[in-house]
Amino acid sequence: MLGSHPFASQLQQAVGGRVLVHPRDCDDYPVGGASPKLVASPVGVQEAARVAKLIGDERERLVVRGGGTKSSRPPCADALFAVLDMSKCEGVLAYEPGDLTISVKAGTKLAHLQSVLARHGQFFPCDAAHAARATIGGTLAASANGALRQRYGSLRDNTLGMRVALSDGTVAFSGAKVVKSVAGYDAYKLFIGSLGTLGVIGEVTLKVSPLPGEQALVAIRFASARDAADAALDVARSPLFVLAMTLHDPAAGTRIRGLPRTPEERDWLLVIRCGGSRSAVRRQLDGAVAICERRRGRDFLETPHEAVARVWADIAELAAGDAYPSNGFVAARFTGLPADVPPLVDALRRAWPTCEITAHPAVGVVYAHVPADASTFSPSTIEAFWKACERSHWSVQFLSAPPALAAVARAPIPPSIPRGLNQKVKAALDPRGVFDPTRGAAGLL
Amino acid sequence: MDSTFIDRLRKLVGRRHVLADLDDLRSYGYDASLDRALPDVVALPGSAREVADVVAACVDRGYPFVARGAGTGLSGGALAEGGGVVISTTRMHRILELDALNRLAVVEPGVPNAEISAAAAAHGLRFVPDPSSQAVCTIGGNIAENAGGLHCLAYGVTANHVLGVEVVTADGELVSLGGKTVDTPGYDLLGCFIGSEGTLGIVTQATVRLEPMHEASRTLLAVYDSIENASRAVSDIIGSGIIPGALEMMDRLTTQAVEESVHAGFPTDAEAILIIEVDGVREAVDDIAQAVREVCERHAAREVRLAQSPDERERIWRGRKGAFGAMGRYSPTYYVQDGVIPRTRLPEVLREVSAVSARFGLRIANVFHAGDGNIHPLIIFNADDPGEVERAVVAGDEILRACVRHGGSISGEHGIGTEKRDCMTLQFAPADLELMARVKKVFNARNLCNPRKMFPTSRRCGEGARKLASGELSPALAAAAGPAF
């Protein structure tokens, strides 16, 4: 029994008693459908490092967990030993609005972060779903970028520095706490999108932005995905500098509750988010509408400033897959060239006619939600689809899948990815393999 | 270096493209930093394959090698300290693809920065990073140093505008990091590679992001009788929610030199001037310019001048970009610092810079990216006076200490190289440097690829040597630093 093991008392000591070993308690921290044997909840990066080292000394593995908003992400560990729960490692460490930087502990919830910043008219340009529960550390580890990256850059672009805990118990900082620095390697970038396979993100320094004084959305209907995507590319190439664009198939479009009218069932929906001064927003809206009209867009619906956040929260949930029950859908993210969004959408709809699609057409990201049904995931369908992806250089990441389909939810790694270097990075930073490697890109590590 | 090796290089890249005469080598023995180092031989490969072959030949013989673009670096990154092979990428200067629809360009490493924007302009697009040396500095060097420029605050540095690179690793292997699309699978090796100062491999091809050009811009010149007021205006502009495209400051010593050489129309009796550029859609820029003007006036600007014509705007920017060059009016030699501080600390740090100037008896001119808090104190000294050289170096270290003390960085865009390597311990703890050493080992286990750069080696800045002597730095770190360690 783990509770009476000397190791458990060492762990208790390492994290001030915040260790759970009772199965009933551990069930609250599932990862990939499995419950851990123990859960340790550090409140600081040093504690996280001590836990990682102790678990490594026991020759066991751990999975780092933030707010648990992506706990259905496959593949899951075969036998889950420990969860390092970072949700209690929270709080603002330093914030100087005039410097446009904030340093926070990694378990800080996105909603809390945004509310602290909003008091000073600022925000962190990240539109991940479930902001009340999602932690900044988890969001970075999952590289859960949203459509705002079109204007503000990716999460990586807005992360300035990071303090991480490694499995040998060391704590290391890289990057800086100012908006610009080239001193040393940006080793912290390796942890963004690493899915917790290299170490624990303990503290982060972020670059924040002023909240636009005025915002608005315009939703435009199109008869085809191609017209809508082409319009999006035209807008992206224009000097309008809109904040973000999202594209939805007819079914996904009806899930955006906040829009004034639901689109007709056969229409694709392009939503354009504008921001800046009042005159700039007016110009962006008018300019975007004029471009869309040239691409046969119609029925322009504007959402005013005060309703933008509510509608956008719905849209963020669509992309993250949270609008769909995790046991009913397979969710995957595809990335490719922006101009290749229409052919990818065609290929997806050919393979899975009932799949729902949300895309960020200006950056070349497509989210597909396919109703989970063993019959639609036959080996031959999958094989043919991977071939299509490989031909057009699309890469794929699975976001969630029901346990029964975990085996098929493994995307192939394109041959251009330097597998050897990835493996060497893992071996260099986590030589004992304490951080569960099965959660990395399948087949890469 | 033996002649059989040089012959081998000649076979790999062609006789004309290997330089081994002392006169030729001298051109490759310097960059824009204070350091000098003669290579043993220079190879100018014409393709990625040839770069890989040259690297493999070096590895085979255990010779260190250093990639070099235009040699405009400010930290010694392209110098072969201790000798070795310089691999110049200047023959690889083609723009391979310009994809306006997907807003990207695929280029060879020797393409000058400004040529990318020039080629993209026909499509209404541009490559955003714009270091002052952009007419000659190459994209390969920009990637190695994660180059910045005048427009970083609003639009980011090189790392934010590169989608992928093809590199020859330190083992001579050709690999792709990133790609043409965002979020390629696996770890963000690209993010870690950019800014690694040529120590993790050699870029042989890059895919860069292009952005639309702005419809309109306005340039303002704000004139101050006190540096403090100018600094406060900088913080207040940002604090009011405006991120100008560029926000630069110059002090009196600088404007006087600039006026003598460039005639930009700067007042020579003002303590500081701010150059502020705002951009955006036509309908909005005048409003933003007006808001900036009001902030500047609130902080007691003596004058706020809006450039009335493209000519006037061009003259102002020519003055700013010519500032480093204009220092030649005072002395042929100056030592440029590149520290970064939280911008709200500008008044205090500039006071400290001024105190350093008085204490060391050296004139220090300030011209810098105020919006980023990236200061460039130019320490003016006489290179023929060894005492003065030494004082300039120590004064520079003092300024960097102040930057770190205020929570900043020892380099914002120039890099560490040989020049600042021994100041790394000011900013980073041993465990931080250990993490970097582990990363270096992944890419460059033999330490032949640009050795002796970035990692601390000796006693400048004091700390490195003390920690070395006391055993606080580990053998792994010593290995990363190279043979001089």
* CA distance, residue A296 to nearest chain B CA (Å): 19
Q: Which CATH architecture has domain B330-405?
A: 2-Layer Sandwich (3.30)
Asked if residue A276 and residue A342 are part of one domain, the reply reads yes
* CA distance, residue B438 to nearest chain A CA (Å): 6
- Residues of chain A with Cβ-Cβ distance to B416 below 8 Å are 182-184
- Residues of chain B with Cβ-Cβ distance to A363 below 8 Å are 182
Asked if residue A247 and residue A365 are part of one domain, the reply reads yes
Which of B213, B242, B432 has the CB atom closest to A173's CB atom? B432
Asked if residue A128 and residue A247 are part of one domain, the reply reads no
Mean pLDDT throughout A208-234? 96
Asked if residue A142 and residue A98 are part of one domain, the reply reads yes
Q: For chain A, how far is it from start to end, CA to CA, in angstroms?
A: 32
- Residues of chain A with Cβ-Cβ distance to B243 below 8 Å are 209-210
Query: Would you say the pTM of this structure is higher than 0.80?
Result: yes
Domain boundary among A41, A63, A85: A85
Chain centre distance of CA B467: 28
CATH number (3.40.50.300, 3.30.70.2190, 3.30.420.40, 3.20.20.10) of B216-325 reads 3.30.70.2190
Q: Does B420 touch chain A (CB under 8 A)?
A: yes
Domain boundary among A210, A227, A243: A210
Asked if residue A254 and residue A190 are part of one domain, the reply reads no
> Is the peptide bond prior to A75 cis by the omega test (within 30 degrees of 0)?
yes
CB atoms within 10 A of CB A357: 26
Q: Which residue of A has its CA nearest to B125?
A: A237
Asked if residue A270 and residue A349 are part of one domain, the reply reads yes
Asked if residue A201 and residue A330 are part of one domain, the reply reads no
Fold of B3-88: 3.30.43
**What is the structure's pLDDT at B111?**
98
Q: Residue A67 is part of a domain; what is its CATH number?
A: 3.30.43.10
Confidence label for A75 from pLDDT (cuts 50, 70 and 90): low
- Residues of chain B with Cβ-Cβ distance to A413 below 8 Å are 185-186
Asked if residue A107 and residue A38 are part of one domain, the reply reads no
Is the CB of A421 less than 8 angstroms away from the CB of B443? yes
Contact (Cβ atoms closer than 8 angstroms) between residue A150 and residue A244:
yes
Is the CB of B186 less than 8 angstroms away from the CB of A428? no
Strand, helix or coil at B263? coil
Q: Is residue A441 part of a domain?
A: no
**CA distances (Å), A17 to each of A8, A66, B42, B372, in order?**
10, 19, 62, 43
pLDDT digits (tens, 9 = 90+) for B126-163: 999 999 899 999 999 999 999 998 888 899 999 999 99
Q: Is residue A6 part of a domain?
A: yes
Interface ipTM above 0.85: yes
Q: Is residue A440 part of a domain?
A: no
Chain centre distance of CA B278: 23
**What is the structure's pLDDT at A74?**
57
What the block records as the tokens of A389 is: 């992806």
Q: Residue A205 is part of a domain; what is its CATH number?
A: 3.30.465.10
pLDDT digits (tens, 9 = 90+) for A111-163: 999 999 999 999 999 988 888 999 999 999 999 999 999 999 999 999 999 99
Domain B95-212 has CATH 3.30.465.10: yes
Q: Is residue A99 part of a domain?
A: yes
- Residues of chain A with Cβ-Cβ distance to B200 below 8 Å are 185
- Residues of chain B with Cβ-Cβ distance to A97 below 8 Å are 239
Contact (Cβ atoms closer than 8 angstroms) between residue B44 and residue B434:
no
**What is the structure's pLDDT at A1?**
53
Chain centre distance of CA B484: 24
Q: What is the DSSP letter of B110?
A: T
Phi-psi sector, A64: left (phi>0), alpha (psi -120 to 50), beta: beta
Q: Does B103 touch chain A (CB under 8 A)?
A: yes
Is the CB of A164 less than 8 angstroms away from the CB of B435? yes
Interface test with B, best of A151, A181, A182 (most B CBs within 10 A): A182
Backbone angles phi, psi at A342, to 5 degrees: -60, -50
Is the CB of A176 less than 8 angstroms away from the CB of B340? yes
CB pairs under 8 A between A and B: 270
- Residues of chain A with Cβ-Cβ distance to B373 below 8 Å are 99, 178-180
Strand, helix or coil at A7? helix
Is the CB of B235 less than 8 angstroms away from the CB of A282? no
Asked if residue A260 and residue A203 are part of one domain, the reply reads no
Domain that holds residue A77: 2-85
Asked if residue A113 and residue A166 are part of one domain, the reply reads yes
The domain segmentation of chain B, as residue ranges, is 3-88, 95-212, 216-325, 330-405, 430-481
The angle subtended at Cα A293 by Cα A287 and Cα A299, nearest 5°, is 100
- Distance, in Å, from the CA atom of B378 to the CA atom of B120, rounded to the nearest integer, reads 34
Confidence label for B103 from pLDDT (cuts 50, 70 and 90): very high
What the block records as the tokens of A336 is: 């490719």
Counted residue by residue, chain B has a size of 485
A326, pLDDT greater than 80 = no
Please indicate whether the domains covering B216-325 and B330-405 agree at the CATH topology level. Answer: yes
* CA distance, residue B275 to nearest chain A CA (Å): 19
Q: Is residue A444 part of a domain?
A: no
Asked if residue A98 and residue A79 are part of one domain, the reply reads no
Domain boundary among A181, A210, A239: A210
Contact (Cβ atoms closer than 8 angstroms) between residue B263 and residue B211:
no
Question: Percentage of chain A surpassing pLDDT 70?
Answer: 94
Strand, helix or coil at A2? helix
pLDDT digits (tens, 9 = 90+) for A239-257: 999 999 999 999 999 888 8
Is the CB of B428 less than 8 angstroms away from the CB of A425? no
Asked if residue A71 and residue A170 are part of one domain, the reply reads no
* Domains contained in chain A, number: 3
